[in-house]
Structure 1
Amino acid sequence: MIRTEGVTDVTEETFEAEVLGSALPVLVQFTADWCGPCRQLAPVLGESAREEAGRIRIVQLDVDREPGIPVRYGVLATPTLMVFRAGEPVRSIVGARPKRKLLQELADVLDPGLTGP
């Protein structure tokens, strides 16, 4: 698995507690060792995890080692970034992004008051 400082690895065994049960929104990167764009995204997610700590958690799940979760949520490509809030998926982004673009796409998740309840 791609190791990224500040990003927690989750498995099928820990997904419910780490993602669905989180009080904070959680960004899940569905990743794989062979995925080039996932490697490009790793430093972006690591920086974002440190800078946005307390507003969003960032975790990663290896689609080859843990195939059940990606199937459950209809993940067909890597990297797919899926944001969960209160145990429900609220946003899905496919493909790598520069940090600025990613944070723009996540602005309403990071600051829910921007779009209302």
Structure 2
Amino acid sequence: MILFILIDYVLGLYLAIKKKSAKTVSGGLSSEVSFSRLVKKFLLMFVVIIVCVRLDLLLGLDIIETAAMMCFIINEAISILENCALAGLPIPEKVIKILDVMEKDNNKQ
């Protein structure tokens, strides 16, 4: 999971340096945005994983933590794909359409 976060972070920095970032108004690099997003991401994951571990222990399971980690990994993989597309790397058209549909669904909510 940490590997996915690091890859996503490095790709995000690359996009910001190239002025293609969707995270800032100018599309450029912002240490404040970069740091706050990274801290928020790690804190959220840490809290959710801790709660899931405790639930697993309480219920005698070992699936809740795994499911939560898989959700985080999938989310990071989607972000990596989006960043790769923004960076101009070759992404299959079908994958780009799926990402576009997901983006439109997120904007409706």
TM band (smaller chain): 0.3 to 0.5
Rg (Cα) greater in structure: 2
Q: Determine which structure has the larger strand proportion and give its number.
A: 1
* RCO comparison, higher one (Cα < 8 Å, 6+): 1
Q: Determine which structure has the larger helix proportion and give its number.
A: 2
